[in-house]
Amino acid sequence: MSRRSLLGRTAAVAAGATALTATAGGPAAAATRDVDVAIVGAGLAGLTAARDLVAAGRTVVVLEARDRVGGRVVNLPLANGGVTEGGGEFIGPTQDRIKALADSLGVATFPTYNTGKNLLYKDGKKTPYATDGPLGSVPPVDVAGLANAAIVQASLDDMAKTVPVDAPWTAAKAEEWDRQTFESWLRANAVVPSAKFLLDVACTSIFSAEPRELSLLFVLFYIAAAGNESTPGTLERLTETANGAQELRFVGGSQLVPVKLAATLGDRVALNAPVRTISRSGGKYVVTADGLTVTAKRVIVAVPPPLAARITYDPLLPADRDQLTQRLPMASVGKAIAIYDTPFWRADGLNGQVVSDTGVISSTFDNSPPDASYGALMGFIEADEARKLDAASEAEVKAAVLKDYVTYFGAKAASPTSFVLQRWNNEAYSRGGPVSIGAPGVLTQYGPALRRPVGGVHWAGTETSVHWMGFMDGAVRSGERVAKEVLAAL
């Protein structure tokens, strides 16, 4: 099973960040500002909301804690002058809003490299397999396992069809599904060990979390949300490369989208301005960030729920909203990219995609540029494996990653020309990724507080989207939704 899109990184951005610095002001540009709307967070959600509000004639300031825009979407500079993505990078069918935004900014897409065979590494055995047969990219485990996995997948899709994407807590069986973990449900239904392996890999690949960490209702909502207004979501769309969420990449790296969008906003974007407090005073809101204070009629908080909870609010947020943010932790993920002179695995008839039952890297992609001028192997470090390495040095992580790459692709993988690593758990303004996750009881007890405004404070970010939550498309959709909400309230 293939890998899902992921979001973000904190380091300086290569060429795109340099371009942004010239167009977006930092907090030193003004000690105080008075605007219609203050926006917390310059990821895709916050920037999209700003774009739509400005287009409607409203004044805005976007406050960003980092020294760059993009949030969980970032380009990592390479020693050879290229870039690779440290966070969200893939888009696919029904992800209409991120595609429309990229098109409007002149950022082109190209197909994720998917020519040749995938690799299954299981029980110490390496098995190449074609992805254009009746099984698609499903690894060739035993027949009983495949049959059981097919039944489980169909059951999940059928249950997901009954979950309203705008209010999953109202599903007919919401209470029953939210009382159990995805792990407990899998143990009762994925009864063939190889089928359980396939579903476990799918879970960690999609959520960067273990099945035991997730509510069954949350998983069903996530599946239901993997579509658009006219196309129901499916588990297959989440996991596939061709015709799935990993189908396309952006020429020049995914961060070009927020960088170019921020450039259209100019000095409305303030970098290096982490927000500390949001208070109501005299009929307006006062948003205090490092070096900059903004007064506004409305505030949009467009950061993940756990980070939104670290802001001090006066008056206090309602208890259900605060309790919700206490219960939506970030998942655990990292990306490791090894750079080579050429994508040598292609000559061996491989597409660079691996599914494994061992090692720190259980899924990989060919992250080479569209002209294949150099090779890039990208691997995800997820869930338990990511947490095990949180305190390890970069050299230790690199050694562990390259050991896995050699296991999968042979001795040539041992000697990359360079190596880049992004560990989201250790990143100050994310503390994990790609998305906040829901354990049992969270959606049914606290879900209604997810998008509900608190006075003049409104909520955005991919976690608030009813379609493609956790993806770049969900972030854009949330920005468009919250802009309409604020405009109606002003």
- At 132 the pLDDT is 80
User: In this model, does residue 133 exceed pLDDT 90?
Assistant: no
* Range in 26-40, 283-297, 382-396, 403-417 the model is least confident about: 26-40
* Residue 224 confidence class, pLDDT cut points 50, 70, 90: very high
Q: What is the DSSP string of 251-310?
A: TT-TTHHHHHHHHHHGGGEE-S--EEEEEEETTEEEEEETTEEEEEEEEEE-S-HHHHTT
Return the structure tokens found at 73: 């979407």
Using DSSP bridges, classify how beta strands 32-40 and 60-63 pair: parallel, antiparallel or unpaired.
parallel
Q: Is 79 helix (H, G, I), strand (E, B) or coil?
A: coil
**Nearest Cα to Cα of residue 450 among 308, 311, 243:** 308
- Cα–Cα distances (Å) from 49 to 18, 24, 483, in that order, read 23, 16, 5
Phi, psi (degrees; rounded to nearest 5) at 91: -135, 165
Q: Is 144 helix (H, G, I), strand (E, B) or coil?
A: helix
Return the structure tokens found at 297: 């009629």
> How many CB atoms are closer than 10 A to CB 281?
9
Dihedral angle sign, alpha carbons of residues 180, 182, 184, 187: positive
Q: Report the distance separating Cα 285 and Cα 46, nearest Å.
A: 18
- State pLDDT tens for residues 347-389: 999 999 999 999 999 999 999 999 999 999 999 999 999 999 9
- State pLDDT tens for residues 275-320: 999 999 989 999 999 999 999 999 999 999 999 999 999 999 999 9
In percent, the amount of the chain with pLDDT more than 90 equals 92
| Partner residues linked to 122 by β-bridges | 125
Q: Is 483 helix (H, G, I), strand (E, B) or coil?
A: helix
- Cα–Cα distances (Å) from 309 to 25, 325, 373, 445, in that order, read 26, 6, 44, 18
- At 401 the pLDDT is 98
* Residue 4 confidence class, pLDDT cut points 50, 70, 90: very low
Q: Report the distance separating Cα 346 and Cα 360, nearest Å.
A: 23
Mean pLDDT, range 194-205, rounded to an integer: 96
| Partner residues linked to 13 by β-bridges | none
Q: Report the distance separating Cα 175 and Cα 166, nearest Å.
A: 16
